[in-house]
Protein backbone atom coordinates (compact mmCIF):
# COMPACT_ATOMS: atom_id res chain seq x y z
CA UNK A 1 0.00 0.00 0.00
CA UNK A 2 2.75 2.31 0.97
CA UNK A 3 4.62 1.33 -2.16
CA UNK A 4 1.66 2.20 -4.39
CA UNK A 5 1.06 5.62 -2.84
CA UNK A 6 4.74 6.46 -3.17
CA UNK A 7 5.31 5.26 -6.71
CA UNK A 8 1.97 5.84 -8.44
CA UNK A 9 2.42 9.59 -9.03
CA UNK A 10 5.95 8.96 -10.35
CA UNK A 11 4.60 6.30 -12.70
CA UNK A 12 1.85 8.56 -13.95
CA UNK A 13 4.29 11.32 -14.66
CA UNK A 14 6.83 9.12 -16.38
CA UNK A 15 4.57 6.62 -18.02
CA UNK A 16 5.78 7.44 -21.53
CA UNK A 17 9.41 6.97 -20.70
CA UNK A 18 8.65 3.75 -18.85
CA UNK A 19 6.71 2.38 -21.81
CA UNK A 20 9.54 3.29 -24.12
CA UNK A 21 12.17 1.64 -21.98
CA UNK A 22 10.09 -1.50 -21.60
CA UNK A 23 9.57 -1.67 -25.34
CA UNK A 24 13.27 -1.19 -25.87
CA UNK A 25 14.11 -4.11 -23.63
CA UNK A 26 11.52 -6.25 -25.37
CA UNK A 27 13.14 -5.30 -28.63
CA UNK A 28 16.64 -6.09 -27.46
CA UNK A 29 15.38 -9.45 -26.25
CA UNK A 30 13.93 -10.10 -29.70
CA UNK A 31 17.15 -9.06 -31.30
CA UNK A 32 19.15 -11.46 -29.19
CA UNK A 33 16.75 -14.30 -29.97
CA UNK A 34 16.80 -13.43 -33.62
CA UNK A 35 20.56 -13.19 -33.61
CA UNK A 36 20.89 -16.67 -32.17
CA UNK A 37 18.33 -18.16 -34.52
CA UNK A 38 19.29 -15.90 -37.36
CA UNK A 39 20.63 -18.64 -39.53
CA UNK A 40 17.61 -20.84 -39.08
CA UNK A 41 15.03 -18.21 -39.89
CA UNK A 42 13.90 -17.70 -43.45
CA UNK A 43 14.51 -14.31 -44.96
CA UNK A 44 10.80 -13.67 -45.27
CA UNK A 45 10.31 -14.33 -41.57
CA UNK A 46 13.22 -12.12 -40.58
CA UNK A 47 11.86 -9.32 -42.76
CA UNK A 48 8.51 -9.51 -41.05
CA UNK A 49 10.15 -9.41 -37.62
CA UNK A 50 12.08 -6.38 -38.73
CA UNK A 51 8.91 -4.73 -39.92
CA UNK A 52 7.19 -5.29 -36.60
CA UNK A 53 10.20 -3.95 -34.75
CA UNK A 54 10.29 -0.85 -36.86
CA UNK A 55 6.61 -0.31 -36.20
CA UNK A 56 7.09 -0.66 -32.46
CA UNK A 57 9.94 1.81 -32.61
CA UNK A 58 7.88 4.13 -34.70
CA UNK A 59 4.90 4.04 -32.37
CA UNK A 60 6.99 4.36 -29.25
CA UNK A 61 8.81 7.35 -30.64
CA UNK A 62 5.70 9.01 -31.96
CA UNK A 63 4.14 8.44 -28.57
CA UNK A 64 7.09 10.05 -26.90
CA UNK A 65 7.36 12.88 -29.31
CA UNK A 66 3.79 13.99 -28.74
CA UNK A 67 4.91 14.48 -25.13
CA UNK A 68 8.42 15.83 -25.28
CA UNK A 69 9.81 16.06 -28.82
CA UNK A 70 13.59 16.21 -29.16
CA UNK A 71 14.55 15.27 -25.66
CA UNK A 72 12.29 12.23 -25.66
CA UNK A 73 14.15 10.60 -28.50
CA UNK A 74 17.49 11.47 -26.98
CA UNK A 75 16.48 9.87 -23.70
CA UNK A 76 15.09 6.92 -25.54
CA UNK A 77 18.34 6.41 -27.45
CA UNK A 78 20.51 6.89 -24.40
CA UNK A 79 18.47 4.35 -22.47
CA UNK A 80 19.85 1.51 -24.56
CA UNK A 81 23.31 0.20 -24.93
CA UNK A 82 24.15 0.48 -28.59
CA UNK A 83 25.32 -2.56 -30.51
CA UNK A 84 25.58 -3.05 -34.24
CA UNK A 85 21.98 -4.27 -34.64
CA UNK A 86 20.38 -1.50 -32.64
CA UNK A 87 22.43 1.08 -34.50
CA UNK A 88 21.17 -0.36 -37.79
CA UNK A 89 17.66 -0.15 -36.45
CA UNK A 90 18.10 3.50 -35.54
CA UNK A 91 19.32 4.20 -39.04
CA UNK A 92 16.33 2.31 -40.42
CA UNK A 93 14.06 4.27 -38.10
CA UNK A 94 15.62 7.56 -39.19
CA UNK A 95 15.07 6.69 -42.83
CA UNK A 96 11.51 5.67 -42.03
CA UNK A 97 10.81 9.02 -40.42
CA UNK A 98 12.44 10.80 -43.32
CA UNK A 99 10.50 8.97 -46.00
CA UNK A 100 7.41 9.73 -43.96
CA UNK A 101 8.19 13.43 -44.18
CA UNK A 102 8.90 13.66 -40.43
CA UNK A 103 12.25 15.30 -40.98
CA UNK A 104 12.56 16.81 -37.50
CA UNK A 105 12.34 13.36 -35.93
CA UNK A 106 14.95 11.83 -38.19
CA UNK A 107 17.16 14.85 -37.53
CA UNK A 108 16.96 14.23 -33.76
CA UNK A 109 17.77 10.55 -34.18
CA UNK A 110 20.84 11.27 -36.28
CA UNK A 111 21.95 14.13 -34.06
CA UNK A 112 21.81 12.00 -30.94
CA UNK A 113 23.73 9.23 -32.70
CA UNK A 114 26.46 11.69 -33.67
CA UNK A 115 26.62 13.02 -30.11
CA UNK A 116 27.19 9.58 -28.57
CA UNK A 117 30.66 8.87 -27.36
CA UNK A 118 30.80 5.11 -27.59
CA UNK A 119 30.32 4.65 -31.34
CA UNK A 120 32.85 3.96 -34.05
CA UNK A 121 34.05 6.70 -36.39
CA UNK A 122 32.46 5.01 -39.38
CA UNK A 123 29.08 5.00 -37.62
CA UNK A 124 29.48 8.66 -36.77
CA UNK A 125 30.30 9.42 -40.40
CA UNK A 126 27.27 7.46 -41.54
CA UNK A 127 25.05 9.36 -39.09
CA UNK A 128 26.49 12.67 -40.29
CA UNK A 129 25.73 11.71 -43.87
CA UNK A 130 22.17 10.77 -42.94
CA UNK A 131 21.79 14.08 -41.12
CA UNK A 132 22.91 15.93 -44.23
CA UNK A 133 20.32 14.03 -46.27
CA UNK A 134 17.67 14.99 -43.67
CA UNK A 135 18.50 18.69 -44.08
CA UNK A 136 18.60 18.25 -47.83
CA UNK A 137 15.19 16.55 -48.01
CA UNK A 138 13.76 19.00 -45.51
CA UNK A 139 14.79 21.93 -47.71
CA UNK A 140 17.27 23.37 -45.18
CA UNK A 141 19.71 24.18 -47.95
CA UNK A 142 22.37 26.00 -45.92
CA UNK A 143 22.48 23.35 -43.21
CA UNK A 144 22.57 20.59 -45.82
CA UNK A 145 25.54 22.22 -47.52
CA UNK A 146 27.40 22.66 -44.22
CA UNK A 147 26.76 19.08 -43.13
CA UNK A 148 27.73 17.57 -46.47
CA UNK A 149 30.93 19.61 -46.26
CA UNK A 150 31.52 18.27 -42.72
CA UNK A 151 31.28 14.75 -44.13
CA UNK A 152 33.84 15.58 -46.78
CA UNK A 153 36.17 17.04 -44.16
CA UNK A 154 36.25 13.61 -42.51
CA UNK A 155 36.43 11.64 -45.74
CA UNK A 156 36.78 13.23 -49.17
CA UNK A 157 36.13 10.08 -51.14
CA UNK A 158 32.33 10.27 -50.98
CA UNK A 159 30.85 10.16 -54.47
CA UNK A 160 27.19 10.54 -53.53
CA UNK A 161 27.92 13.37 -51.10
CA UNK A 162 29.80 15.34 -53.74
CA UNK A 163 27.02 14.54 -56.18
CA UNK A 164 24.45 15.93 -53.72
CA UNK A 165 26.49 19.12 -53.35
CA UNK A 166 26.67 19.44 -57.16
CA UNK A 167 22.89 19.12 -57.36
CA UNK A 168 22.30 21.71 -54.60
CA UNK A 169 24.66 24.31 -56.07
CA UNK A 170 23.19 23.80 -59.53
CA UNK A 171 19.69 24.23 -58.06
CA UNK A 172 20.57 27.49 -56.34
CA UNK A 173 22.57 28.54 -59.41
CA UNK A 174 25.80 29.07 -57.52
CA UNK A 175 27.85 28.24 -60.60
CA UNK A 176 31.21 28.93 -58.97
CA UNK A 177 30.62 26.22 -56.36
CA UNK A 178 28.79 23.99 -58.83
CA UNK A 179 31.94 24.10 -60.93
CA UNK A 180 34.28 23.31 -58.00
CA UNK A 181 32.29 20.29 -56.87
CA UNK A 182 31.77 18.99 -60.40
CA UNK A 183 35.55 19.03 -60.83
CA UNK A 184 35.84 17.16 -57.52
CA UNK A 185 33.25 14.65 -58.73
CA UNK A 186 35.20 14.03 -61.91
CA UNK A 187 38.24 13.14 -59.78
CA UNK A 188 36.38 10.77 -57.44
CA UNK A 189 34.13 9.08 -60.01
CA UNK A 190 34.85 7.41 -63.30
CA UNK A 191 32.22 9.19 -65.37
CA UNK A 192 33.31 11.87 -67.78
CA UNK A 193 31.96 15.20 -66.52
CA UNK A 194 33.29 17.40 -69.37
CA UNK A 195 29.91 18.09 -70.97
CA UNK A 196 28.35 19.09 -67.67
CA UNK A 197 31.33 21.21 -66.66
CA UNK A 198 31.12 23.01 -69.99
CA UNK A 199 27.41 23.73 -69.39
CA UNK A 200 28.16 25.06 -65.90
CA UNK A 201 30.88 27.35 -67.22
CA UNK A 202 28.50 28.63 -69.89
CA UNK A 203 25.96 29.44 -67.15
CA UNK A 204 28.68 31.31 -65.29
CA UNK A 205 29.66 33.16 -68.46
CA UNK A 206 26.01 34.02 -69.15
CA UNK A 207 25.77 35.87 -65.85
CA UNK A 208 28.83 37.93 -66.77
CA UNK A 209 27.25 38.56 -70.16
CA UNK A 210 24.06 39.88 -68.55
CA UNK A 211 26.14 42.15 -66.33
CA UNK A 212 27.98 43.31 -69.46
CA UNK A 213 31.29 42.06 -68.07
CA UNK A 214 32.37 40.76 -71.45
CA UNK A 215 36.01 40.12 -70.59
CA UNK A 216 35.14 37.73 -67.73
CA UNK A 217 32.45 36.22 -69.91
CA UNK A 218 34.99 35.45 -72.64
CA UNK A 219 37.38 33.85 -70.14
CA UNK A 220 34.79 31.45 -68.75
CA UNK A 221 33.61 30.71 -72.24
CA UNK A 222 37.14 29.79 -73.31
CA UNK A 223 37.28 27.38 -70.38
CA UNK A 224 33.91 25.94 -71.39
CA UNK A 225 35.25 25.23 -74.89
CA UNK A 226 38.29 23.56 -73.39
CA UNK A 227 36.02 21.02 -71.65
CA UNK A 228 33.50 20.51 -74.43
CA UNK A 229 32.21 22.70 -77.29
CA UNK A 230 28.53 22.50 -76.38
CA UNK A 231 25.80 24.16 -78.43
CA UNK A 232 25.03 26.59 -75.60
CA UNK A 233 28.73 27.60 -75.50
CA UNK A 234 28.73 28.27 -79.22
CA UNK A 235 25.54 30.33 -79.08
CA UNK A 236 26.96 32.49 -76.29
CA UNK A 237 30.19 32.98 -78.17
CA UNK A 238 28.16 34.05 -81.18
CA UNK A 239 26.43 36.68 -79.03
CA UNK A 240 29.81 37.80 -77.75
CA UNK A 241 31.09 38.23 -81.33
CA UNK A 242 28.03 40.37 -82.05
CA UNK A 243 28.68 42.52 -78.98
CA UNK A 244 32.30 42.98 -80.02
CA UNK A 245 31.35 43.62 -83.64
CA UNK A 246 33.25 40.65 -85.05
CA UNK A 247 30.73 40.08 -87.81
CA UNK A 248 32.88 37.75 -89.93
CA UNK A 249 33.63 35.45 -87.01
CA UNK A 250 29.97 35.59 -86.04
CA UNK A 251 28.87 34.55 -89.54
CA UNK A 252 31.38 31.69 -89.64
CA UNK A 253 30.32 30.40 -86.23
CA UNK A 254 26.65 30.74 -87.12
CA UNK A 255 27.16 28.69 -90.27
CA UNK A 256 29.06 26.06 -88.31
CA UNK A 257 26.20 25.81 -85.81
CA UNK A 258 23.59 25.52 -88.54
CA UNK A 259 25.48 22.74 -90.30
CA UNK A 260 26.08 20.80 -87.10
CA UNK A 261 22.71 21.26 -85.44
CA UNK A 262 20.07 22.38 -87.96
CA UNK A 263 17.30 21.22 -85.61
CA UNK A 264 18.30 23.95 -83.14
CA UNK A 265 17.89 26.79 -85.65
CA UNK A 266 14.76 28.35 -84.14
CA UNK A 267 16.32 27.93 -80.71
CA UNK A 268 19.48 29.74 -81.83
CA UNK A 269 17.45 32.73 -83.00
CA UNK A 270 15.45 32.83 -79.78
CA UNK A 271 18.70 32.92 -77.78
CA UNK A 272 20.18 35.62 -80.01
CA UNK A 273 17.09 37.80 -79.53
CA UNK A 274 17.60 37.79 -75.75
CA UNK A 275 19.47 40.96 -74.97
CA UNK A 276 19.13 43.53 -72.19
CA UNK A 277 17.08 46.40 -73.71
CA UNK A 278 18.64 48.83 -71.21
CA UNK A 279 22.16 48.15 -72.46
CA UNK A 280 24.00 51.05 -74.09
CA UNK A 281 24.87 48.89 -77.06
CA UNK A 282 21.34 47.52 -77.49
CA UNK A 283 20.75 49.23 -80.84
CA UNK A 284 24.16 48.25 -82.19
CA UNK A 285 23.57 44.66 -81.10
CA UNK A 286 20.20 44.54 -82.86
CA UNK A 287 21.73 46.00 -86.02
CA UNK A 288 24.44 43.35 -86.04
CA UNK A 289 21.89 40.63 -85.34
CA UNK A 290 19.95 41.89 -88.35
CA UNK A 291 23.05 41.32 -90.50
CA UNK A 292 23.13 37.69 -89.31
CA UNK A 293 19.43 37.32 -90.07
CA UNK A 294 19.89 38.67 -93.59
CA UNK A 295 22.87 36.39 -94.04
CA UNK A 296 20.75 33.43 -92.94
CA UNK A 297 17.93 34.33 -95.34
CA UNK A 298 20.45 34.47 -98.16
CA UNK A 299 21.82 30.97 -97.52
CA UNK A 300 20.80 28.52 -100.22
CA UNK A 301 22.50 25.35 -98.99
CA UNK A 302 20.31 22.48 -100.23
CA UNK A 303 21.14 20.19 -97.33
CA UNK A 304 20.27 22.91 -94.84
CA UNK A 305 17.04 23.78 -96.60
CA UNK A 306 15.84 20.22 -96.16
CA UNK A 307 15.57 20.78 -92.40
CA UNK A 308 12.09 21.73 -91.17
CA UNK A 309 13.62 23.78 -88.36
CA UNK A 310 15.66 25.90 -90.80
CA UNK A 311 12.58 26.47 -92.97
CA UNK A 312 10.46 27.44 -89.96
CA UNK A 313 13.06 29.98 -88.84
CA UNK A 314 13.28 31.44 -92.35
CA UNK A 315 9.49 31.73 -92.61
CA UNK A 316 9.27 33.50 -89.26
CA UNK A 317 12.07 35.93 -90.11
CA UNK A 318 10.56 36.72 -93.53
CA UNK A 319 7.21 37.41 -91.89
CA UNK A 320 8.92 39.70 -89.33
CA UNK A 321 10.49 41.59 -92.23
CA UNK A 322 7.04 41.85 -93.89
CA UNK A 323 8.20 39.66 -96.79
CA UNK A 324 5.16 37.35 -96.82
CA UNK A 325 5.27 36.60 -100.53
CA UNK A 326 8.83 35.30 -100.28
CA UNK A 327 7.82 33.28 -97.23
CA UNK A 328 4.94 31.80 -99.19
CA UNK A 329 7.15 30.89 -102.17
CA UNK A 330 9.71 29.21 -99.94
CA UNK A 331 7.17 27.24 -97.94
CA UNK A 332 5.10 26.32 -101.00
CA UNK A 333 8.20 24.74 -102.54
CA UNK A 334 9.11 22.94 -99.31
CA UNK A 335 5.59 21.59 -98.61
CA UNK A 336 5.38 20.19 -102.15
CA UNK A 337 8.64 18.28 -101.77
CA UNK A 338 8.06 17.25 -98.12
CA UNK A 339 4.34 16.48 -97.86
CA UNK A 340 3.06 15.48 -94.43
CA UNK A 341 6.44 15.95 -92.76
CA UNK A 342 5.63 18.75 -90.32
CA UNK A 343 2.27 19.77 -88.85
CA UNK A 344 3.72 23.03 -87.56
CA UNK A 345 4.87 24.03 -91.04
CA UNK A 346 1.53 22.96 -92.49
CA UNK A 347 -0.20 25.34 -90.08
CA UNK A 348 2.21 28.13 -91.04
CA UNK A 349 1.43 27.35 -94.66
CA UNK A 350 -2.33 27.74 -94.16
CA UNK A 351 -1.79 31.05 -92.33
CA UNK A 352 0.45 32.28 -95.16
CA UNK A 353 -2.10 31.29 -97.82
CA UNK A 354 -4.64 33.52 -96.06
CA UNK A 355 -2.06 36.31 -95.74
CA UNK A 356 -1.22 36.35 -99.46
CA UNK A 357 -4.91 36.24 -100.42
CA UNK A 358 -5.21 32.60 -101.53
CA UNK A 359 -8.37 31.84 -99.53
CA UNK A 360 -9.71 28.89 -101.60
CA UNK A 361 -6.34 27.07 -101.33
CA UNK A 362 -6.24 27.86 -97.62
CA UNK A 363 -9.64 26.19 -97.15
CA UNK A 364 -8.65 23.08 -99.09
CA UNK A 365 -5.40 22.73 -97.15
CA UNK A 366 -7.12 23.39 -93.81
CA UNK A 367 -9.67 20.67 -94.49
CA UNK A 368 -6.98 18.26 -95.58
CA UNK A 369 -4.91 19.13 -92.49
CA UNK A 370 -7.80 18.57 -90.06
CA UNK A 371 -8.61 15.20 -91.60
CA UNK A 372 -5.01 14.07 -91.37
CA UNK A 373 -4.47 15.25 -87.83
CA UNK A 374 -7.51 13.30 -86.73
CA UNK A 375 -6.22 10.16 -88.40
CA UNK A 376 -2.73 10.46 -86.93
CA UNK A 377 -3.92 10.78 -83.31
CA UNK A 378 -5.16 7.97 -81.15
CA UNK A 379 -8.48 8.51 -79.42
CA UNK A 380 -7.21 7.59 -75.96
CA UNK A 381 -4.04 7.84 -73.94
CA UNK A 382 -2.76 6.89 -70.49
CA UNK A 383 -2.52 9.91 -68.18
CA UNK A 384 0.28 8.23 -66.22
CA UNK A 385 2.75 7.06 -68.87
CA UNK A 386 1.33 8.50 -72.10
CA UNK A 387 0.56 5.12 -73.73
CA UNK A 388 -1.54 5.67 -76.88
CA UNK A 389 -4.39 3.52 -78.08
CA UNK A 390 -7.72 3.58 -79.91
CA UNK A 391 -8.86 0.72 -77.71
CA UNK A 392 -10.46 1.18 -74.32
CA UNK A 393 -8.00 -0.03 -71.68
CA UNK A 394 -9.01 0.02 -68.03
CA UNK A 395 -5.60 -1.33 -67.07
CA UNK A 396 -2.77 0.35 -68.94
CA UNK A 397 -0.80 -2.31 -70.88
CA UNK A 398 2.38 -0.23 -70.50
CA UNK A 399 2.49 0.97 -66.89
CA UNK A 400 -0.17 -1.40 -65.49
CA UNK A 401 -2.07 1.34 -63.67
CA UNK A 402 -5.82 1.10 -63.45
CA UNK A 403 -8.26 3.70 -64.81
CA UNK A 404 -5.61 6.06 -66.13
CA UNK A 405 -7.29 6.14 -69.56
CA UNK A 406 -8.13 9.62 -70.85
CA UNK A 407 -9.97 10.89 -73.88
CA UNK A 408 -7.84 13.13 -76.07
CA UNK A 409 -9.47 16.57 -76.11
CA UNK A 410 -6.41 18.52 -77.16
CA UNK A 411 -4.09 17.96 -80.11
ZN1 LIG B 1 0.23 3.87 -68.54
pTM above 0.85, yes or no: no
Would residue 338 count as lying in a domain? Answer: no
Would residue 302 count as lying in a domain? Answer: no
Would residue 402 count as lying in a domain? Answer: yes
Would residue 43 count as lying in a domain? Answer: yes
For residue 410, the CA-to-ligand 1 centroid distance in Å is 18
Q: Tens of pLDDT along the chain (411 residues)? A: 455 556 656 655 565 566 566 666 666 665 565 555 444 445 554 565 455 455 555 555 555 555 554 555 555 555 455 566 678 878 888 888 898 888 998 999 899 889 887 788 889 999 999 999 999 999 999 999 999 999 999 988 899 999 999 999 999 999 999 999 999 999 998 888 998 999 999 999 999 999 999 999 999 999 999 999 888 899 999 999 999 999 999 999 999 999 988 888 988 999 999 999 999 999 999 999 999 999 999 988 888 888 888 999 999 999 999 999 999 999 999 988 888 788 889 999 999 999 999 999 999 999 988 888 777 778 899 999 999 998 888 899 999 889 888 888 776
Cα separation, 278 vs 152, whole angstroms: 44
Quick check: 74 and 112 in contact, CB under 8 A? yes
For residue 406, the CA-to-ligand 1 centroid distance in Å is 10
Q: For residue 404, give its domain range.
A: 377-411
For residue 402, the CA-to-ligand 1 centroid distance in Å is 8
Quick check: 144 and 130 in contact, CB under 8 A? no
Would residue 234 count as lying in a domain? Answer: no
For residue 376, the CA-to-ligand 1 centroid distance in Å is 20
For residue 375, the CA-to-ligand 1 centroid distance in Å is 22
Cα separation, 310 vs 339, whole angstroms: 16
State the total domains in the chain: 2
Would residue 324 count as lying in a domain? Answer: no
Would residue 75 count as lying in a domain? Answer: yes
The last residue of one of the domains, among 119, 138, 162, is 119
Would residue 22 count as lying in a domain? Answer: yes
The last residue of one of the domains, among 119, 140, 173, is 119
For residue 372, the CA-to-ligand 1 centroid distance in Å is 26
The last residue of one of the domains, among 119, 150, 170, is 119
For residue 387, the CA-to-ligand 1 centroid distance in Å is 5
Cα separation, 95 vs 107, whole angstroms: 10
Other beta carbons less than 10 A from residue 310's beta carbon = 22
For residue 388, the CA-to-ligand 1 centroid distance in Å is 9
Amino acid sequence: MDFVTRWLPWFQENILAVVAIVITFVLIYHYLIEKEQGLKLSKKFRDSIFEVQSKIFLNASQYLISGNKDLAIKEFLNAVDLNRETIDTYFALGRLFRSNGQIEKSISIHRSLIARENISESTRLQALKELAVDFDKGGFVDKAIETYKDVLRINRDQYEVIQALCRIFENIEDWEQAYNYRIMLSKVGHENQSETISHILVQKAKIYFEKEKYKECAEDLDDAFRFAPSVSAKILRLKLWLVQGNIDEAKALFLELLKEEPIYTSFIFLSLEEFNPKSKIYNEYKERLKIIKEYFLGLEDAEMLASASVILSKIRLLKDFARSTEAYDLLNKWITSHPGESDVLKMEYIKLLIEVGKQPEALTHAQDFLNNIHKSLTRHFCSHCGYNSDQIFWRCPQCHNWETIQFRWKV
